[in-house]
């Protein structure tokens, strides 16, 4: 599995990152994004790409090189959630698939950054997903 989202420099990896890398190898279902790929997709996490903020942290809209739109959820620095808990959450989310749930497509751990990547839903998509054919 590609673990290069930990950065190109082995020298700068912290203990937690190395453990996270090891743990991520066990998560076969989600893609391990490179931090630079996410920086490019979100125009360096530009404020104009910000689409919301939830309990996890700030959410940015991004566009991958292949044109796929993504929602990039960055775990806020104040969060007490550690790498291990973060990875456990990914493992749990990636095992749940339902038409009414937004799919988790990947994650990234880079230095102190913990990031989740979801499929992007346009405004109103949730309504449509929940109400199905009831909504025009
Ligand atoms: N997959 C997505 N596609 C498009 N926009 C999204 C997506 N995920 C989140 N957002 C936007 O980011 C905002 C925050 O989302 P987030 O899931 O972090 O928190 P929340 O659902 O509002 O609350 P909580 O943190 O309690 O789950 C949402 O209200 C929405 O506007």
Domain map of the chain by residue range? 7-120
Give the Cα separation of 17 and 79 in Å (integer): 17
Task: Determine which helix (DSSP H) or strand (DSSP E) holds 76, and give its type and residue range.
Answer: none
CATH 3.40.140.10 for domain 7-120, yes or no, is no
User: Which pLDDT score, from 0 to 100, does residue 43 have?
Assistant: 98
Q: Is the ipTM of this complex over 0.90?
A: yes
Does the CB atom of residue 30 touch ligand 1 within 6 A? no
Does the CB atom of residue 71 touch ligand 1 within 6 A? yes
Does the CB atom of residue 102 touch ligand 1 within 6 A? yes
Its pTM stands at 0.75
Contacts of 50 (CB under 8 A, 6+ apart): 58, 59, 60, 61
> pLDDT in tens for each of the 136 residues of the chain?
333 333 322 334 455 555 555 555 555 578 999 999 999 999 999 999 999 988 778 999 999 999 999 999 998 766 666 677 777 778 888 887 777 778 889 999 888 888 999 999 987 555 555 655 554 4
Nearest protein Cα to ligand 1, atom 1:
120
């Amino acid at each position: 599995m590609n673990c290069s989202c930990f950065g190109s420099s082995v020298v700068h990896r912290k203990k937690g990152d190395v453990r996270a890398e090891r743990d991520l190898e066990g998560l076969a279902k989600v893609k391990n994004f490179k931090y630079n790929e996410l920086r490019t997709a979100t125009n360096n996490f530009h404020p104009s790409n910000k689409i919301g903020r939830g309990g996890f942290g700030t959410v940015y809209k991004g566009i991958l090189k292949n044109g796929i739109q993504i929602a990039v959820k960055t775990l806020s620095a104040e969060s007490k959630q550690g790498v291990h808990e973060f990875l456990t959450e990914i493992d749990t989310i990636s095992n749940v698939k339902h038409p009414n749930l937004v799919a988790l497509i990947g994650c990234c751990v880079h230095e102190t950054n913990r990031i989740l990547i979801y499929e992007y839903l346009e405004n109103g998509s949730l309504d449509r997903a929940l109400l199905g054919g009831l909504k025009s």
